[in-house]
Chain A
Amino acid sequence: MIRVDGRSDSPSLIRVRGLNKTYRRGGENIQVLQGLNLDVDQADFVAFMGPSGSGKTTLLNLLGGLDVPSAGSITVAGDEITHMSASKLTQWRARHVGFIFQMYNLIPVLTAFQNVELPLLLTKLSKSERRKHVETALGVVGLSDRMNHFPRQLSGGQEQRVTIARAIVSDPTFLLCDEPTGDLDRKSADEIMALIEELVGKYHKTVLMVTHDPVVAARAHTTLHLEKGVLVEGAARKGVLVGGVA
């Protein structure tokens, strides 16, 4: 169950309380997020929608430990990340977060295999163990036969699959997807969304996704709308309690 009223008593996988984010631009304080609450359980699939500048990506960055909030707390699997040092946060990201970007952001000089292997180079796994993990991840995304291809030799959809394989190879706690289909045609977008649904349904991955596309958002269990940094409404296929500070 996804809740945004901040009143959940049961321990959730991701718990956000009173999240604020303020930027200072041109001598003016811009409040991007305002007292946001959120509870997300294991294997939930949440889509965040909203107009440009509403704070969707900022929220994703905060949840992924890429940015720090101005106030409030984020707790993931019992770890309060908002007070972690930069180096602790880096380690935490490596262990808990899988990132899927709109522009794929693969390293062009590395093959699909080598790109997927990158997160594992930070672990103590042996070469053969790494190979096994990478082959499994590429198998999940259906690219076992493309592992020695460079990104330029792959289609956009295939590149995004490699990104997904890179995100899941270290078996993170949750996945953050920033417009994962934003650069793809409808058919490829459908394939990617089917894959993400499979990760949630079959592998019980928790996915938080930002998108502008209502068709894509409709594939999530829950769609939450952000407007000017405030959670203003929610819609659920599976179930959501709407609240927050708005």
Chain B
Amino acid sequence: MKFNRFILANLFRKKIRLILTVGSFAVALFLFTFLAVVKSAFSRGTELAGADRLVVINRAGLINTIPLSYRDKILQIKGVKAVTHNNWFGGVYQDEKNFFPQFVIDPENQRQVMTEMRVPDDEWNNFVKDRQGAIAGAGLAKRFGWKVGDRIPLKNALYGPTKTWEFVLDGIYHNDHPGGDESQFWLQWKYFDETVPSVIKSLVGWYVVKLDSPDDSVSVAAAIDKGFANSSTETKTETESAFAAGFAKQLGNIELLILTIGGVVFFTLLLVTGNTMAISVRERVGELAVLKAIGYPDLYVLFFVLSEALVIALIGGLIGLGLAVLAIPVVGAALRGLLPPLLLSVGVLSLGLAFAVFVGVASGLLPGIGAMRLRVVDALRRV
């Protein structure tokens, strides 16, 4: 376009200011993208939760257990296809900072319910036969460099005196869902139930129920809770996505926190860029007046100011997004175990670019309208 040279020449007239403004855009966009990725990581459990699965927990709270005997009663409810049960193990591998979720699973039913988590048949069969067997997610195995056959000791103080439990890695699971969780460690229910103190025996942490149809979720959840109403252990049944959302909320209102920080970033950036553009326009009042005098329409003047703001936003934005592409895998690796996997999707990158464009246009709008409304006669008198 024939005005490119003019717009670029104006942009580069104050190089240090340009670099600082572009830099602030880049940092803000990086922060925006990082926050969006963290938010997406926390909500991924909800998004990927099976629509045809229910989670049954003790009405008194997740840390309270439920009798194993409930399993058969749940299975009899119409609309239930399969049931599996899990317990939280809570062991420590080498050091507490090496946190990863460890679940005691029911090998007979786990694969029928958690269908997206795939384990090769031979590895699964070895696991089922091996009392001390364990299955690890592909991400977890990669994190610690584990291979099938490795012995994995986990120190545990939740179930009786502190002791080290030895496991043999029999298999590795992969998640069918892109970005799905591959960080879990599964161990055998039988080994767990035989080893824990008698007061904990035959008690499970929660049930996961597979339904014939997602349409049955409300009626089946109601039927389960009704079936155990007024018993010593009442239940609370909800869809897996509601359960995942509730679980994430236990960490605090992550979404509100991220939106608040994002809002602060947005307005700060708007002020920084808006101020830069306002100063830039103020410095050029005479030049803009000359342009209007020689026949440049008001809309062209607005276009020039908006274009400059937009170019700053796009350059800064692309640098920020580029930084995010490079840094998020590194940051994600460093925070592994503390946060869910950080995945930078095309959607988040597009959102970041849209954010940059929006801030660019918004920050240039007021100075641009001011330039557009400039009276040539008044402006020339000031020169």
Contacts and interface: CB of A to CB of B under 8 A. Distances in A.
Interface of A: 61, 64, 66-67, 86-87, 90-91, 93-95, 99, 101, 103, 105, 107-110, 114, 118-119, 121-122, 127, 166
B377 A61 contact: yes
Interface of B: 2-3, 5-6, 9-10, 12-13, 286-287, 289-298, 376-377, 380, 383
Identify the 9 closest CB pairs spanning chains A and B, nearest first. Answer: A94-B295, A109-B9, A105-B290, A109-B13, A93-B295, A66-B376, A67-B377, A119-B294, A90-B297
Nearest to A102: B383
Contacts of A66: 293, 376-377, 380
Given A61-B377, A110-B6, A114-B9, A105 B292 contact: no
Contacts of B6: 107, 110, 114, 118, 121
A108 B287 CA distance: 9
A95 B295 contact: yes
A221 B292 CA distance: 30
A94 B294 contact: yes
A101 B381 CA distance: 11
Contacts of B297: 87, 90-91
Contacts of B292: 90
A103 B296 CA distance: 20
A154 to B, nearest CB: 16
A118 B291 contact: yes
Contacts of A103: 286, 383
Contacts of B10: 109
Contact of B287 (A90, A107, A121): A107
A93 B13 contact: no
Nearest to A115: B290
B9 A110 contact: yes
B3 A121 contact: yes
Contact of B294 (A86, A93, A109, A110): A93
B6 to A, nearest CB: 7
B377 A90 contact: no
B377 A122 contact: no
12 contacts: A66-B377, A87-B297, A91-B297, A94-B295, A99-B293, A101-B383, A105-B286, A107-B6, A108-B13, A118-B291, A119-B295, A166-B294
B290 A101 contact: yes
A122 B297 CA distance: 9
A114 to B, nearest CB: 7
A163 to B, nearest CB: 9
Contacts of A166: 294
A80 to B, nearest CB: 19
B293 A64 contact: yes
B295 A90 contact: yes
Contacts of A122: 295-296
B295 A121 contact: no
Contacts of A121: 2-3, 6
Contact of A91 (B3, B295, B383): B295
A243 B286 CA distance: 36
Contacts of A90: 292, 295-298
A87 B5 CA distance: 25
Nearest to B289: A105
Given A110-B9, A114-B5, 14 more contacts: A66-B293, A66-B380, A86-B298, A90-B298, A91-B295, A105-B289, A105-B380, A107-B6, A108-B13, A109-B12, A109-B13, A114-B9, A119-B294, A121-B6
Contacts of B290: 99, 101, 105, 107
